[in-house]
Amino acid sequence: MKIRPKRLQKGDTIGIIAPSSPPNLKQLNNSLAFLDELGLSYQMGKSVENVYGYLAGNDEDRLEDLHEMFGNPDIAGIICAGGGYGSARYTDKIDFQLMNEHPKIFWGYSDITFLHTGMNLYSDIVTFHGPMLASDVGKSTFSDLSRKMFQQLFEPMELHYSAAISPLTSISGGVARGELTGGNLSLLASGIGTKYEVDTRDKILLIEDIGEEPYRVDGMLNQLRQAGKLDDAAGFVIGDFNDAEPKKRKVSLSLDEVLDHYIGNLGKPAVKGFKIGHCEPHFAVPLGSEAQLDAENLSLVILPGVE
């Protein structure tokens, strides 16, 4: 069992960091009213407004922000401003023992998947795959359901996902139980062969992505297949694959055909259609919490992510 971080209380201070690319500062500023609504104060990381090419400051500055927020006893949780690219550049320098000794809420997705995987492996803590401040919260499209998902940080609650939230389709039937792991497919694939490759043994693997054509998804799933990650998994939660239509080729396999080939043929419980990922609403989930996927009745239940 992973360590569940302590729940938030109104009046707590959360740290805001940009572990990857520079966030949209206007949208970040817009998001702060939502933190006020939650009754939270906030402290900005020093590199949040930095721009170093496609990175939010150099690797040392972004790593320092991450360490400082985990080590600071006045910070109750950490929410990422945005993703983009770059968190994997310094993962091998992260003090995972610091996070294990000071477990606290860590929330983000997309490029943040590399950090989630590292923390789940080496800090043994539950982390949260959910909408980020500049990328999602600060936009006019931020939905009521996405807002409600933040309540799981204030009290331990079981999460229930059914076809009432979005249309779900079973790729392969059965019931799977295990820790929920995974996130952005391209980041999971890029971790293969490193110390930070996702551990899927007896776990329920979540995958999602954006802007990846079917042939690209095919290549990434094939990489996971050849690394044994699909065979090891107990089941599959297929999140949102935003903008996955073929563009380069007039004739293409569909995304559904690719998923059927790699996941349907395994005969393990697998369901697609979850609004988890680069989408609205965005159903936020705790990675490392125990979950049950029922591919017969099309439901996902996840145990609480906080203490």
Q: Which residues are catalytically annotated? A: 110, 208, 278
For residue 281, cis peptide bond before it (omega within 30 degrees of 0)? yes
Apex 20 CA angle, 79 and 199, nearest 5: 80
Give dist(CA 43, CA 18) in Å, integer: 12
Q: Which residues contact 307 (CB under 8 A, 6 or more apart)?
A: 4, 5, 6, 7, 156
Encoded tokens for 281: 């609403």
Cβ-count burial 235-266 (b if 16+ within 10 Å, e if not): bbbbbbbeebeeeeeeebbebbebbbebbbeb
Give dist(CA 251, CA 99) in Å, integer: 48
Q: Which residues contact 230 (CB under 8 A, 6 or more apart)?
A: 200, 205, 221, 224, 262, 263, 266
Give dist(CA 85, CA 93) in Å, integer: 17
